[in-house]
Amino acid sequence: MGGDGGALVRRSGFSPVLESRPDARGPHRWDVDAPLRLRRRNFVLLFQASSGHILTNARPVRFPPTPNPEAVQDYVSELIDEIKVKNPAEPEFHQAVQEVVRSLALVLERDPEYRKAKIIERMVEPERVIMFRVPWVDDAGEVQVNRGYRIGMSSAIGPYKGGLRFHPSVNLGILKFLAFEQVFKNALTTLPMGGGKGGSDFDPKGKSDLEVMRFCQAFMAELSRHIGPYRDVPAGDIGVGGREIGFLFGMYKKLRNEFTGVLTGKGITWGGSLIRPEATGYGAVYFAAEMLQTRNEDLTGKTCLVSGSGNVSQYTVEKLIDLGAKAVTVSDSNGYIFDESGITREKLAFLMELKNVQRGRISEYADKFPSATYTALDSTLDHNPLWDHKAECAFPSATQNEINAKDAANLLRNGVYVVSEGANMPTDIAGIEQFLDAGILFGPAKAANAGGVATSGLEMAQNSMRLSWTREEVDARLQGIMKAIHQACRATAEQYGTPGNYVNGANIAGFKKVANAMMDQGVV
Ligand code: NAP
């Protein structure tokens, strides 16, 4: 006997039958296919414990019959409506929940105990939300005030883990959608990480290095009270790269008087992991390769549309070049370039220097390379022309909702049959429906871009061991994890009667791992 259940049992003078709790320690503990009969029993008994029932009087419990699909659909619709009412003005959060909960109807039809335990109702409510003022002084001596956030969405399977986003569009709803997605993504990685997210409406664009440093220090002055290597381990996201992680880590170390793996994405000489910067982009390409392999194809010779020109985009392009594919587009928030001859290693080196060092605009790529044309963003259009070129693969790697229904139709019309999402929730719900209806290989973000957080998990492991693995070792582990995620999504989709639907596969496999942990841990 052991674990939390054991402690409860001892305190309650509980019956020996229940002390065994085989499902809490057995080899199938992390298996999403584990039979639920025992979990169901545990939940009811733990519920009785928390509600003051005499546990030794526990009797066999009758469970409700499996609800019919219509009843489950009604429940799901009501749940979504309630979430909208309870969380007004958070459209991205509503969208993320809706996309997941629709897949979960399949689980609730088979396993009604999740509904009885109100697992989904608990999952959509963050465990904690911290909002704080971030005052700092700019180069002109003016006081600036931004808003900081950190959301702990779920710690069911490990400490909160998820990035920090610095972008003027950041608000509570966007961070809640990202934190919610992160819970499922982290569960898929096979590593013990809960889900969180944070950030600020601060815009690093156009700021000097000193201004960015002062902002990061002011942000960490408050955040440092709430994070820690066993509590919450933030990382980068939009607007937070190596420079920002350095400033944040330096301030945490000074304030807490300790050198610990409290952030990931650190510099290689001070606790970072090789391959972490590359991991999200590489992982999205590995995921696409895995999907293609199911049709006995690979990426060689494939034309690929890539959006964004930041961390994820750059390393997506690099891995596509490695694997013999041809990336022909990249973008930023002002527009995109189309380079029909393909982005070569030389051009990619220019792009990385332009974006990571000069902090310039993507239009300068077309100034430098005459083979490319630049198209400025036109916000009056109902679609993004970047997605309207002939290609076989698409890697949206900029931001949420960058592919709408019209973009999805354009992609399909142009011959795209592989979409691997590097960004978080880049395709809106109508776009996803088109991809699924068309039966293309569609890798949703929480599976396809999980390589970044997985490698953050590997960085945490190296920090704990006070060791560093080689580039080859980390890359091999990353590839193994992407393969495992692909396999889990595929097998789960099949098991739930929707073969080839990676959306259902990712949502259900991620959900069951977290939900089963919550059932084991009682109502907390
Ligand atoms: P990044 O390095 O800051 O790059 C973001 C890129 O997207 C930039 O080119 C940026 O253009 C563009 N962009 C940002 N907001 C935009 C908007 N509203 N409209 C059009 N373009 C926009 O960020 P990143 O780390 O590559 O992240 C990109 C996406 O991947 C995000 O969805 C992020 O959540 C997701 N993701 C990142 C990681 C990771 O490890 N970094 C892991 C998983 C998922 P500007 O320079 O003009 O702003």
CB count within 10 Å of CB 494 equals 14
Q: Is the dihedral of CA 44, 45, 51, 54 positive or negative?
A: positive
Structure tokens given for 17 = 């039958």
Q: What is the distance in A from the centroid of ligand 1 to the CA of 21?
A: 45
Q: Which of 263, 242, 261, 273 is nearest to 472 (CA)?
A: 273
User: 323 alpha carbon to ligand 1 midpoint, in Å?
Assistant: 23
Distance 308 CA to ligand 1 centre (A): 6
Quick one: how far is CA 191 from the chain centroid? 13
Judged by DSSP in three states, 303 sits in strand
Measured CA to CA, the distance from residue 496 to residue 106 in angstroms comes to 7
pLDDT over 90 (residue 239):
yes
DSSP letter (8 states) at residue 51: T
Average pLDDT over residues 401-409: 98
pLDDT at 68: 74
What pLDDT is recorded for position 26? 36
What is each CA distance from 105 to 68, 72, 172, 243, 507, in whole angstroms? 11, 6, 27, 43, 11
| pLDDT, position 70 | 81
User: DSSP secondary structure string, 421-470?
Assistant: --SSS-B-HHHHHHHHHHT-EEE-HHHHTTHHHHHHHHHHHHHHHT----
Ligand 1 atom nearest to 425, measured from its CA: 32
Between CA 145 and CA 211 the distance in angstroms is 13
The pLDDT value recorded for residue 421 is: 98
Give per-residue pLDDT as tens, 159-201.
999 999 999 999 999 999 999 999 999 999 999 999 999 999 9
**HEC assignment per residue over 134-202:** EEEECCCCCEEEEEEEEEEEECCCCCEEEEEEECCCCCHHHHHHHHHHHHHHHHHCCCCCCEEEEEECC
Given ligand 1 and candidates 312, 313, 348, 395, which is best to mutate, with the most ligand atoms within 8 Å of its CB?
312
Mean pLDDT over 361-368 rounds to 98
Query: Which has more pLDDT, 14 or 109?
Result: 109
Mean pLDDT of 215-223: 98
pLDDT value of position 446: 98
Q: How far is the CA of 450 from the centre of ligand 1 (A)?
A: 15
Which DSSP category does 66 fall into? P
Residue with the smallest CA separation from ligand 1 atom 28 is 398
Report the nearest atom of ligand 1 relative to the CA of 240. Answer: 3
- Choosing from 399, 420, 427, 482 the residue with most ligand 1 atoms within 8 A of its CB, the one to mutate for a pocket test is 399
> How crowded is residue 300: how many other Cβ atoms within 10 Å of its Cβ?
10
pLDDT in tens, 255-269: 999 999 999 999 999
Residues 6+ apart with CB under 8 A from 10: none
Could you tell me which residues are beta bridge partners of residue 330? 337
Pairing of strands 329-332, 303-306: unpaired
Contact 222, 132 (CB under 8 A): yes
Whole-number Å distance between alpha carbons of 335 and 501: 32
Instruction: Name the residue at shortest CA distance from atom 27 of ligand 1.
Output: 238
Residue 77 has pLDDT above 60, yes or no: yes
Kindly give, in sequence order, each residue whose CB lies less than 8 Å from that of residue 313, ignoring residues fewer than 6 positions away.
Answer: 281, 306, 307, 330, 331, 395, 397, 398, 422
Residue 74: count of CB within 10 angstroms of its CB: 12
- Give pLDDT tens digits for 284-310: 999 999 999 999 999 999 999 999 999
| pLDDT of 3 above 60 | no
Q: Which residue, 285, 318, 313, is CA-closest to 299?
A: 285
* pLDDT of residue 30 exceeding 60: no
Provide the angle, in degrees to the nearest 10, between the axes of the packed helices 471-495 and 451-465. 130
Ligand 1 atom closest to 312 (CA) = 26
Ligand 1 mean position to 237 CA, how many Å?
Answer: 7
* 113-151 per-residue burial string, b: 16 or more CB within 10 A, e: under 16: bbbebebbeebbebbebbebebebeeeeeeebebebbbb
Q: Which of 273, 346, 267, 282 is CA-nearest to residue 314?
A: 282
Q: Which residue's CA is minimally distant from atom 46 of ligand 1?
A: 332
Could you tell me if 399 and 426 are in contact, meaning their C-beta atoms sit under 8 angstroms apart?
yes
Atom 19 (ligand 1) nearest CA = 333
Which ligand 1 atom sits closest to the C-alpha of 450? 43
Q: What is the pLDDT of residues 110-132, one digit of tens each?
A: 999 999 999 999 999 999 999 99
Type of residue found at 500: G
Q: Which of 201, 332, 363 to mutate to test the pocket of ligand 1 (most atoms within 8 A of CB)?
A: 332
Which atom of ligand 1 is the closest one to the Cα of 279? 40
Rg (CA), the chain: 23
The residue nearest atom 4 of ligand 1, judged by CA position, is 310
- Unique residue bearing structure tokens 């002390």: 19
Per-residue confidence (pLDDT) for residue 44, from 0 to 100: 41
Options 161, 185, 197, 326, the catalytic residue: 197
- Which residue, among 218, 208, 252, 209, has the nearest Cα to 233 in the 3D structure? 252
Mean pLDDT within 72-77: 93
Q: At what angle do helices 502-521 and 3-12 cross, to 10 degrees?
A: 30
Residue 217 has pLDDT above 80, yes or no: yes
What residues have CB less than 8 Å from 358, skipping those under 6 apart?
A: none
Q: Which residues line ligand 1 (CB under 6 A)?
A: 236-239, 241, 280, 308-313, 332-333, 397-399, 422-424, 449, 452
Mean pLDDT of 233-253: 98
Residue 197 is among the residues annotated as catalytic for this protein: yes
Atom number in ligand 1 closest to CA 313: 26
Give the pLDDT band (50/70/90) at residue 69: confident
Structure confidence at residue 66 (pLDDT):
53
Judged against a pLDDT cut of 80, whether residue 515 lies above it is answered with yes
CA of 271 to the centre of ligand 1 (A): 24
Residue 2 pLDDT > 80, yes or no? Answer: no
Nearest by Cα to 481 from 286, 316, 320: 286
Q: Which domains does the chain have, with CATH numbers?
A: 3-60 (no CATH), 128-270 (3.40.50.10860), 279-448 (3.40.50.720)
Confidence at 416, pLDDT banded by 50, 70, 90: very high
- To test the pocket of ligand 1, the residue of 238, 336, 363, 421 to mutate (highest count of ligand atoms within 8 Å of its CB) is 238
> Which pLDDT belongs to residue 67?
56
Distance 405 CA to ligand 1 centre (A): 21
CA distance 165 to 185: 17
5 SS3 class: helix
Classified as helix, coil or strand, 519 is helix
Cα–Cα distances (Å) from 161 to 7, 274, 398, 448, in that order, read 27, 19, 21, 17
Tell me what the pLDDT averaged over the chain comes to. Answer: 90
Cα 438 from Cα 383, distance rounded (Å): 19
Per-residue model confidence (pLDDT) at position 59 = 38
- Residue with CA at minimum distance from ligand 1 atom 41: 237
Ligand 1: centre distance to CA 284 (Å): 14
Residue 15 pLDDT level (bands cut at 50, 70, 90): very low
Q: Do the beta carbons of residue 344 and residue 365 sit within 8 Å?
A: no
Give me the percent of the chain exceeding a pLDDT of 70.
Answer: 87
How far is residue 179 from each of residues 82, 154, 162, measured CA to CA in Å?
Answer: 19, 9, 7
pLDDT average, residue stretch 303-330:
98
Average pLDDT for residues 321-341, to the nearest whole number? 98
